[in-house]
Structure 1
Amino acid sequence: MKQDSEDKLARVLEALENPSSFTKEELDSLFADEECVQNARAILSAREALARQQVSQPDINKEWNAFERRHRKTSVIPWSIGLVAAACIALLFILHNPTAEDKGLQVFEAIQTAHTVRQETINGVMTIEVPRGMQKQITLPDGTVVTLNAESSLSYAVSSFGKDIRMVTLQGEGLFDVAKDSLHPFIVRSDGLSARVLGTVFNVRNYATEKMKITLLSGSLKVVSVQRADSLLIRPGEQAVLTDKHELRTVRTTQTADITAWSEGSFYFDNQTLVEILCELGRWYNVNVVFRDKECMNSRLHFKAFRNESLASIIELLNYVSKNPVVLEDKTIIVGK
């Protein structure tokens, strides 16, 4: 009997963290046992408490107030993928629309965007741009393989690439499998950070909605803060994170496969805030995201789903694990009552 209870608890935990692995009927059956669900949520809360000892939680009120002071006279700013400015303009995820306060806080904006990958050379610079809702794997002239996530771009000078160094510039997110070449270092520049390698596998994530981070999967990597000129060496399983003060710090991550799940067609969120999760969904499905209660933006979830699922299905799964109701209306995800 005890074993049956433990097995059911394990199944409920799995369902809370990975609802896309279950049918709707299975989820309804598992979540019908309220006591078991409460016990499972308590376990997840304990895990999150431990994780927060290592991961700092955003101060939504502080960042919101700072953003309001800087943008009292501005409104929502549209942008295209080729621009350095990305979809959310705020220090930390928050975009304010003064004309729609009764509707909540808009943290992500849908845009008119092409649905094809664009590749062109202008003034000797090759640029590859991947729109929302797509990802693309490319091979550079030296044999380096780069997988670009949605709303990302990669550029490099055609004539000089590989002569002394192999330098590329990234906006968005890219997974790099760098071809070994001891004579020509490979350098990735991405706003505030640059990474210098000879041959390794690493993931660079640089969206305006969150702090920039570089995760090393194999090999070795030297990461340099452009503004402060300080650097650090990271080992496999470590992340280099750029703080708001442009300082570098190292964070240990136990599951590097989770970091690159996007390149294999999955959403994987481990103890991430609801606003991070929904901005990622907004980027993939190109929809608006609105919070009617900004306090729930900081709530953290474990969530996994497949990118080829419809947004309606993703929202349905998300509501099984989120304490805050999430609805889809037209092209807008709305959180809170």
Structure 2
Amino acid sequence: METELRRLIKRYNAGQCTAEEIAWIESWYNELNEDQRIALSEADLHEEKLLIWKEIAIKTTHIRKTRLLYPKTIAAAAAAILLLFGAWFLFYTDRMSLEQTETALVAKSDIAPGQEDATLTLSDGRKIVLSSTQNGELAVDSGVHIFKSPDGQLTYQIMDSDKTVGGINTLSTANGQSFRISLPDGSLVHLNAASSISYSSKLVDHGRRMVKLDGEAYFDVASNKELPFVVETSQQEIHVLGTQFNVNAYADNGFVKTTLEEGEVKVKSGNATRIIAPGQEAKTANGRLAVSPANLEEALSWKNGYFRFNDQKLTNVMTELSRWYDIEVVYTDKIINETFTGTLSRNRNISQALNILEKTNSVKFKIEGRRIIVTQ
């Protein structure tokens, strides 16, 4: 176990863990507070290990109305030795349990997670479904060559900028899809499910690099002081030179939120303008622009392969799941007011995600085709 743990930690530090391993490690780690991160003697360590195994053995039916996706009692017991033993045995124990236990949800039906796919609409109206195309050159639009790389990423290349007049392209994902694109300037965009991004095939418009976003996307913008990069959404206009940030602009959320990971961005909303620093978010809701500290792990979790919920209402949780799994959610009872905190891998089938939610004993699910019935 110790050897495997060392390998897991080494892979984590090198950025080589799978999305599921990252989700479990960071979920457990972030449950700790500073007072709990203490060193233990061997005797204390042994006692804590026994306590953890005892807590894990407790039936989930004894955990009443917890708001966590994993039992908080276990998190408290494990907190003191997490840094020494990591989440290795917890991760693999849970994974084996999920694989070996045949639940009613799995027996009836199941829904696979989303996949890398999108539809590219060219300026002349042609539509290209990217999952059904071969790697290599896909099209030439207004003098710009468009390629699909071996890793499935969409790439634009301007062969002769003097002769190029860019037409408008739109890359869109449906529910259950996500996709990555490299724009002509080298900027990278990771598009979440049920989202679209529109841009000139040349990208530059009136001395600015311009894109329009509906839905959610993560931007890694190539630096160019001569050509600012602007992201337009329904409620915000984000101005950058070169930086990394996430924009959540789903229409059904009722807000637009820009979360900055690195660099500096200027956010305009109506008559208000704010500059935000790394670790901050600018949120526009009800016509008001406000800046506050961001939860980077939660905001960027989708891009890193998992869901992260922090005191989220059930309706918000199910909205995120519905986009990724392409499902319809039906509530048969009064909408449940419980909030949920925890981490779910985006690589799991829907039944596994719902089973974890059910362990809170505050909600139950039934799968009927692509419809999820929610009851108390």
Give the TM interval when normalised to the shorter protein. Answer: 0.5 to 0.7
Counterpart in 1 of 2:216? Answer: 173
Alignment check: 8 A CA contact 1:289 1:333 kept: yes
Q: Does 1:313 align with 2:357?
A: no
What's the CA shift string for 1:27-64, capped at 9, x where partnerless?
Answer: 6x2445937997965899xxxxxxxxxxxxxxxxxxxx
Alignment check: 8 A CA contact 2:65 2:361 kept: no
Distance in structure 2 (CA, Å) of the matches to 1:203 and 1:295: 30
1:238 counterpart (280, 299, 308): 280
Distance in structure 2 (CA, Å) of the matches to 1:2 and 1:139: 52
What pairs with 1:248-259 in structure 2 (closer than 5 Å)?
248-253=289-294, 255-259=295-299
What pairs with 1:1-337 in structure 2 (closer than 5 Å)?
29-31=57-59, 34=62, 116-122=117-123, 124-159=167-202, 161=204, 164-210=207-253, 211-225=255-269, 228-243=270-285, 245-253=286-294, 255-296=295-336, 298-321=337-360, 323-337=362-376
What's the CA shift string for 1:250-299, capped at 9, x where partnerless?
Answer: 1212x413321211221221221111110111111111111223441x42
Alignment check: 8 A CA contact 2:266 2:276 kept: yes
Deviation of the 1:121 alpha carbon: 1.9
Distance in structure 2 (CA, Å) of the matches to 1:127 and 1:308: 27
Distance in structure 2 (CA, Å) of the matches to 1:144 and 1:220: 16
Change in CA separation of 1:41 and 1:292 when aligned onto 2, cut-off 3 Å: farther
Distance in structure 2 (CA, Å) of the matches to 1:180 and 1:9: 52
Distance in structure 1 (CA, Å) of the matches to 2:365 and 2:49: 29
Change in CA separation of 1:191 and 1:326 when aligned onto 2, cut-off 3 Å: same
Alignment check: 8 A CA contact 1:201 1:218 kept: yes
> What amino acid maps onto 1:34 in structure 2?
H
Alignment check: 8 A CA contact 2:238 2:266 kept: yes
Distance in structure 2 (CA, Å) of the matches to 1:239 and 1:122: 34
Change in CA separation of 1:154 and 1:35 when aligned onto 2, cut-off 3 Å: closer
Distance in structure 1 (CA, Å) of the matches to 2:330 and 2:296: 30
Alignment check: 8 A CA contact 1:142 1:162 kept: no
Deviation of the 1:216 alpha carbon: 0.3
Distance in structure 2 (CA, Å) of the matches to 1:190 and 1:310: 32
SS at match of 1:151: coil
SS at match of 2:319: helix
Distance in structure 2 (CA, Å) of the matches to 1:336 and 1:305: 20
Aligned residue pairs, count: 249
Distance in structure 1 (CA, Å) of the matches to 2:181 and 2:248: 17
Deviation of the 1:10 alpha carbon: 6.9
Distance in structure 2 (CA, Å) of the matches to 1:119 and 1:12: 53
Larger radius of gyration: 2
> What amino acid maps onto 2:123 in structure 1?
I
> What amino acid maps onto 1:206 in structure 2?
A
Alignment check: 8 A CA contact 2:195 2:215 kept: yes
Deviation of the 1:194 alpha carbon: 0.9
Change in CA separation of 1:149 and 1:188 when aligned onto 2, cut-off 3 Å: same
What's the CA shift string for 1:55-97, capped at 9, x where partnerless?
Answer: xxxxxxxxxxxxxxxxxxxxxxxxxxxxxxxxxxxxxxxxxxx
Distance in structure 2 (CA, Å) of the matches to 1:238 and 1:43: 31
Distance in structure 2 (CA, Å) of the matches to 1:122 and 1:163: 18
Distance in structure 2 (CA, Å) of the matches to 1:237 and 1:10: 34
What's the CA shift string for 1:8-29, capped at 9, x where partnerless?
Answer: 777899xxxxxxxxxxxxx6x2
> What amino acid maps onto 2:178 in structure 1?
Q
Deviation of the 1:329 alpha carbon: 2.4
Alignment check: 8 A CA contact 2:308 2:343 kept: yes
Deviation of the 1:302 alpha carbon: 1.1
